[in-house]
Amino acid sequence: MQYEIKNRPLSVLICGLAQGESVECQKGAMSWMSDTIEMKTGLGGSGGGGLLGALGKMAKSAVTGESIFRNTYTATAGPGEIAFASSFPGDIISFDLNGTNSIVAQKTAYLANTIGVTSDIFFQKKVGAGFFGGEGFIMQKFSGQGTVFLEISGCTCEYVLAPGQSMLVDTGFLAAMEATCTVDIETVKGIGNALLGGEGFFNTRVTGPGKIWLQTMPASSLATALIPYLPKPSN
């Protein structure tokens, strides 16, 4: 499959499908497509088939907020083009999975993937990292073979962490990381710093080895910035 990511910061992913090729996405993600492409809706993600597989996918849907259903688009009547526009100003980034590597991302980041990619719930090993680290106790882990596309809020900054090397990240700015990295939370030192510094009480500590991807404008930060400009309800 050929693809191109265009028009940042209002990003769009445009995929060129040869006849017989497919791409999978969260329901409602498709923006436009050629009339040679056919859509089929089914249970998405991993977890096997049968009743147990369906129950596992329902549980994953409940905790991540994603729909249990995924749409698969296949070029059945010849080559075609399909586009997925981001739902938030920012980047769309791609990750190539080779069967041995995995990517962990915030649960709202998923956009689309090629066939062969599986997704699972990823629980933070330390409860504190989930409750206070800003990324939530539950993230998503993408594995298998293929390409997964994620939405990133704002611009993307990529870092490579050596074994044992850490990066302190403010709440909500960690978008994705290689599964070889670990996450913990750390309190801001000094009560005056915590109360008056404007950075809150906790930071997220991400430790290598592996790559991490940080986003410059989490949705929560944009919402906070817009609040003073929103019309106030009348009495």
Q: What is the pLDDT of residues 151-205, one digit of tens each?
A: 999 999 999 999 999 999 987 899 999 999 998 888 766 544 444 444 556 788 8
Task: Establish how many alpha carbons lie within 13 A of residue 124's alpha carbon, considering only the half-sphere containing its beta carbon.
Answer: 24
| 50 domain residue, yes or no | yes
Mean pLDDT over 135-164 rounds to 90
pTM over the 0.95 mark:
no
Residue 85 within any structural domain of the chain: yes
Q: Looking at the domain assignment, is residue 150 inside a domain?
A: yes
What integer pLDDT is reported at residue 69 of this predicted model? Answer: 80
Residue of 142, 174, 143, 179 whose CA lies nearest to 157? 174
| Mean pLDDT, range 26-51, rounded to an integer | 78
Burial of 126 (0-12, 13-18, 19+ CB in 10 A): middle
Q: Is 235 part of any domain? A: no
CB 106 within 8 A of CB 153: no
Domain CATH for 125: 3.60.160.10
Structural domain contains residue 229: no
Reported as a pLDDT band with limits 50, 70 and 90, residue 150 is very high
Instruction: Name the pLDDT band for 59 (thresholds 50, 70, 90).
Output: very low
Helix (H) or strand (E) holding 55: helix 50-64
Separation CA 174–CA 201 (nearest Å): 17
Report CA Rg, the chain: 19
Residues of the domain holding 76 = 2-224
| Residue 61 pLDDT exceeds 80 | no
Nearest to 207 by CA among 161, 174, 172: 161
> Residue 124 has which token pair?
């933070």
Q: What tokens does 110 get?
A: 């998923």
Residue pair 118/89 in contact (Cβ under 8 Å)? The answer is: no
Residue 31 lies in a domain: yes
Give whichever of 31-40, 41-50, 134-143, 199-208 has the largest mean pLDDT: 31-40
Percentage of the chain beyond pLDDT 70 is 77
Q: Model confidence over 11-28: pLDDT tens digits?
A: 999 999 999 999 999 888
Return the higher-pLDDT residue of 39 and 54: 39
Q: Does some domain include residue 232?
A: no
Q: Give 3-state DSSP helix, strand, coil % of the chain, rounded to 5.
A: 15, 50, 35
Q: What is the mean pLDDT of residues 79-85?
A: 97
Assign 65 a pLDDT band (cuts: 50, 70, 90): low
Residue 151 resides in a domain: yes
Look at the chain and report how many structural domains it folds into: 1
β-pairing, 166-169 vs 202-207, is antiparallel
